[in-house]
Structure 1
Amino acid sequence: MQSDKPEQSKEELAAAIAKEQMEQDALPYKWTQVLEELTVTVPVPPGTRSRDLSIKITRTHLLVSLKTNPTPLIDDDFYKDVKVDDSTWTLDDQKEVTLTIAKASGLEWWPHVVKSAPKIDVARIQPENSKLSDLDGETRSMVEKMMFDQQQKQMGKPTSDEMKKEDILKKFQAQHPELDFSKAKIQ
């Protein structure tokens, strides 16, 4: 993955990573992500019960608060839209809330959970290696198509979409031999 940023020295990179870590440590929550979802862990006072919490997940906004405290723990817009019906939360050991937030547009790394939070450098994310067999059918076929198209481009051959267009044109020409396509530009 190429970046638009100039190359950083080891010292600059270490400083950037340390700054990013300090900013993330200062957040009132911890978070991780995979391409399809985020996991946000919010500490709450020991002994907190679910009825003590007010949690609202909408397509664009997240609210996590204690009913006894007027200041919310999180009250901000998401970086991007989420799938509300696929997002959940649980209260774990009466001391932390774990939110699983489904990204509406999967297959994308988020630089932060909510807009007011400091960003991380998504170019440094090292995803876990996975096997094609680990992916669901739709994602697997998309990845296989991307891999095929990349190989085709490297060999100077047409991609799957270009091959599909050529096939459609050939079929149309066969059905309409009376038309002259010799000067047609196909894009």
Structure 2
Amino acid sequence: MAEKLAPEKRHNFVHNGQKVFEWDQTLEEVNIYISLPPNVHCKQFYCKIQSKHVEVGIKGNPPYLNHDLTCPVKTDKGQT
């Protein structure tokens, strides 16, 4: 396993006092953990990662994460 850059715990991203997601990272990867609201089925969720942009949301609604990345990332084009 790659050497950790951060403590071996998840970090919270909080907006307006509400946790939006958790994340952790190693030298090789970043993991984002998102808990869907109880009334949202997993098939309604979408995540689009491009080399310099990430978009996450619930289908039929505006994305709640829609950000340009500061550095390009490697994407796996075989997954959606």
What fraction of aligned residue pairs are identical, expressed as a percent? 29
Q: Is the partner of 1:51 in helix, strand or coil?
A: helix
Match of 1:158 in 2: none
Q: Is the partner of 1:43 in helix, strand or coil?
A: coil
Task: Pick from 64, 76, 79 the counterpart of residue 85 of structure 1.
Answer: 76
The letter for the 1-side match of 2:14 is A
CA–CA separation in structure 2 for the residues paired with 1:75 and 1:43? 17
TM-superposition CA deviations, 1:138-183 (whole Å, max 9, x none): xxxxxxxxxxxxxxxxxxxxxxxxxxxxxxxxxxxxxxxxxxxxxx
Unaligned runs of 5+ in 2: 1-10
TM-superposition CA deviations, 1:15-73 (whole Å, max 9, x none): xxxxxx8xx45242111000000011122112533331222110111100001432x22
Q: Which has the larger radius of gyration?
A: 1
The letter for the 1-side match of 2:37 is P
By percentage of residues, which structure has more helix? 1
Aligned Cα root-mean-square deviation (Å): 2.7
Task: Pick from 56, 60, 75 the counterpart of residue 66 of structure 2.
Answer: 75
Match of 1:26 in 2: 14
Q: TM-score, normalised by structure 2?
A: 0.63
Structure 1 stretches of 4+ with a deviation exceeding 4 A read none
Unaligned runs of 5+ in 1: 1-20, 90-187
Aligned residues: 66
Match of 2:28 in 1: 36
